[in-house]
Structure formats: C-alpha cells, structure tokens
Amino acid sequence: MALANKILAAHTDKEMISPGEFINVRVDLILANDITAPIAIREFQKIGVGKVFNPKKIVMVPDHFTPNKDIASAEQVKLMREFCHEQGIIYFEVGQMGIEHVLLPEQGLVLPGDVIIGADSHTCTYGALGAFATGMGSTDIAAAMATGDIWMKVPPTIKVVYHGSLQKWVGGKDLILYTIGALGVDGALYSVMEFTGETIDSLSLDGRFTMANMAVEAGAKAGIFRVDNKTQLYIKPRAKRPYRVYEPDNVSEYTQVVDYDVSNMEPQIALPHSPANTKPISRVGDIEIDQVVIGSCTNGRLEDLQLAARVLKGKKIHSRVRCIIIPGSQEVYLNALTQGLIEVFIKAGAAVSTPTCGPCLGGHMGVLASGERCISTTNRNFVGRMGSPESEVYLSNPVVAAASAIMGKITSPDEVINWGSFRETKPLL
C-alpha cells in the first residue's frame, strides 16, 4: 500500500485496503472554522446525540472573517464559540489563534500517522507531517462529530518525484505551482499526491506545508510526505500524545509516477484566473500591481516572513502599492517581532495585521476594487477571489511578492537585490 493508504488502513478494522473500496475511518482530529462550523453545528444538532463523541478531538478556529468584520460574521463566531464552550471543544480565541493550518501543527494537535478531517479544503496541509488529512464539507464534519468516524473511498496515489537542487529564489511554492501547472486543476482528482525525491529531502518543513497545502488545487484528496529527521525535529517539542510513523510498502501501487528535474526551475507565477495557469517569472512580462499580500495558510509561516524581510530590509514599498503582511499565527507574529522582521516591514511601508485569512478569500483586510491587480502568496486566483470580479490575482512565493512590492510590478528578485547579499542578510536587525 502507498503511504496514505497505510495510514487509512490502520484507522479501520481491516488489514488491507484497495483504491476504490468504501471504508469507515476512525478520525484523530476534526476541524471547522467560522464559515463552515455554523452549518456543521446546525446539522450536528439534527442528529440528536446531544454530546460530541470526544471534545478533545475537535478543534474550531475563528480565522476567516475574524476579528469579526461585520455583525453577521460576529453572529457566526458567537454560535461557534458558545457551542465549543458548551461541549468542551478546543477553541482558540482571537489573540491566541492563528490561521487554522498554521496553528494546528504549531500546537502539536496534528501528528504523523493521524487521520484528520476538516471543513476547509486546505486541511490537506497536514500531509507535510506524514498525516492523512483531507478537506470535507460541514455535514461530513457534523456526522463525524457525532460518531468519531467517517466514510471514505480509498484513493489511488500519484507519486510526484523531484530531482535536482533548487535555484535561487525558488522554494516549495514554486514546486507546487509548477506541479499544478503541469497536472492541471483536476490532474490529481480523487487521488493522493505523495511528494518525494532528493529535492524534497532538502526542503524545509515550512516549504513542505506550502506544497501539501496546495495539493487540493490539483484536485487531490490529500498531499503527503514521508516523515524524516526534519519532521521529527519539528514534532518532538510540540507533540503532547504518542504518534506513529508509517512508511509506504516497498511495492506500492501508484496510478501514475511523475518525475520533475527542477535544477533549472525559475520562480513560478500563476496568472489569472487559475492556479494551473503558471509561467516561469521570466515569461510573465511587465504587469503593474496595486496590492501585495504576504501571508495565508499557504505562505504565512516564519520562514516565509523571513524571506520577505530579507528582500524588504532597508527598502521602500512602491508609493502606489499597498503591501499587506499577515503572520499566520500569534506564535509566528511574536517570533517575527523578536527577530526584527515586523520593524523591517513597517519601515518599508507595509501594513502588518493580526492573523486572519481575510484578503485571501476577499473577506476583509485587503479587498480589491474593479480593475485592480494583486500579487499574493495565497493559494487561489479564481475570478472574484480577492474582491471585485473585475480584479486580478497573481500567485507567487514570498520573495517574488516582496520584490514586486518594491518595484510596483511583478518582478524577479534579481532586480531589487543580488543573490549574494540576500543570502548574507540576517533576519535579525
């Protein structure tokens, strides 16, 4: 069995499972947010069990429209907060929270070998830790909150292998944008993407979170990585319960094996209006921008902010550009503060916000007007995603986004900083 199915099988009463089979899977953690929880709670109440199966295996995070952007959002969060308090469900209040997919790994709530389901499509982020994590809707979450398990169709697995060392300015975001561009937005439909190869071995955990996060943009049910020393170093200080590391069988069935040599890869940009509409930056041309967003469940982690700060240090954001930087969690925010990154951002002329999904989905904190263009480190650039249906979103990594903020147009970092001095710039002031 492939890695994902080894984990799934261990959460059923079966020894072996095969792609296409319907199974009932015990879950280790269930997640919902301020948009998806209200429906899940409403549906849960229809089941009539009164209490959730285990409140310590359920987490709810107010992150999408929070701090509450209007009265309607406040009512949704109130419903969720009261349900959590009444049931004893794990809840992170504004001021202690983060964007769910940045927060849960940090808090040690998601661990290798877990099965995690979340009412948010980017739940697949936790595959970076060698867990099986997948997004579902609110009613699925409601049923799982009552029973502790959920039905699934066993997915086939696509093995995605990366060779070669990463060139300057290139990271996990570029690998996944390139892959989505090559496979298409439904290229991995219903499948698991198992990411592997020597390039992955040298990639940081933050880079792996970015990749697993966007597996869903290729239609995948999950993205998954094997656990290595880097994973263990990340997990050990955070885990508060035992966990198990699974390995794929030597003879695993893959429906497809794709192989990429990335040694000549440039930073990748996804042009409007699809994450699969990717081009290397040298072929994007002169695109003027009005806004830059650095943050989100895709690229709102400490490493992302460190990279952006190394570009922005001592420079000024273009006078015509609004640059909005959103640390992904309170922990990321505090680390960015003590490392001097926040001072770099503010001196450069960026707006820094408390953690929120906000602008990524056109909620608040950076909504676009008609005709406006944004380069963003987020995950989707659909029509109207960040505001007006007549606006445009370009997706990139944090280094390109920061360089573009300085120049006022989509820019290779080469145009604002040379590679040598970038590498030497310490994040500390």
Partner 1 sequence: MLKGTVHKYGANVNTDAVIPARYLNVSQPAALAKHCMEDIDKDFVERVKPGDIIIATTNFGCGSSREHAPLAIKAAGVSCVIAKTFARIFFRNAINIGLPLFECEEAVAQTEAGDILEVDPSSGRIKNLTKGKEFTAQPYPDFMAELISTGGLIEYTKKRLAGRRV
Give contact residues for partner 1 (rule: CB under 8 A).
22, 35-36, 38-39, 42-43, 46-49, 64-65, 69-70, 72-73, 76, 118-121, 123, 135-140, 142-143, 146-147, 151, 153, 185-186, 189-190, 219, 221, 274, 361-363, 367, 380, 382-385, 387, 389
Distance CA 3, CA 224 (A): 8
| 254 or 382: CB nearest partner 1 | 382
- Identity of the residue, 221 or 313, whose beta carbon is nearer to partner 1 in the bound complex: 221
Please, are residues 212 and 128 in contact by the beta-carbon 8 Å criterion? yes
Nearest approach, Cβ of residue 273 and partner 1 (Å): 9
Q: Shortest gap between Cβ of 6 and partner 1 (angstroms)?
A: 21
Rounded distance between C-alpha atoms, residue 212 and residue 220, angstroms: 10
Task: Sheet containing 373-376: give its strands across.
Answer: 278-280, 268-270, 392-395, 373-376, 291-294, 322-325, 351-352
Place of tokens 């986004």: 401
Distance in Å, CB of 72 to partner 1, minimum: 4
Residue 42 Cβ, how far from partner 1 at the closest point, in Å?
A: 7
- The H or E element that residue 132 is part of is strand 132-135
The whole-angstrom separation of Cα 224 and Cα 212 is 6
- Closest to partner 1 by CB, 120 or 174: 120
Q: Shortest distance, CB of residue 148 to partner 1, whole angstroms?
A: 11
Cα separation, 325 vs 312, whole angstroms: 12
d(CA 155, CA 291): 39
Per the omega criterion (within 30 degrees of 0), is the bond before 64 cis?
no
- Among candidate residues 105, 111, 114, 133, the one with its CA nearest the CA of residue 302: 105
Closest contact distance (angstroms) between CB of 143 and partner 1 is 4
Q: Which is nearer to partner 1, 130 or 219 (CB)?
A: 219
- Nearer to partner 1 by C-beta: 119 or 309? 119
3-state SS, residue 428: coil
Cβ nearer to partner 1, comparing 112 with 155: 155
Tell me the closest approach of the beta carbon of residue 402 to partner 1, in angstroms.
Answer: 26
- CA–CA distance, 214 with 379 (Å, rounded to integer): 7
Minimum CB distance to partner 1 smaller for 38 or for 355: 38
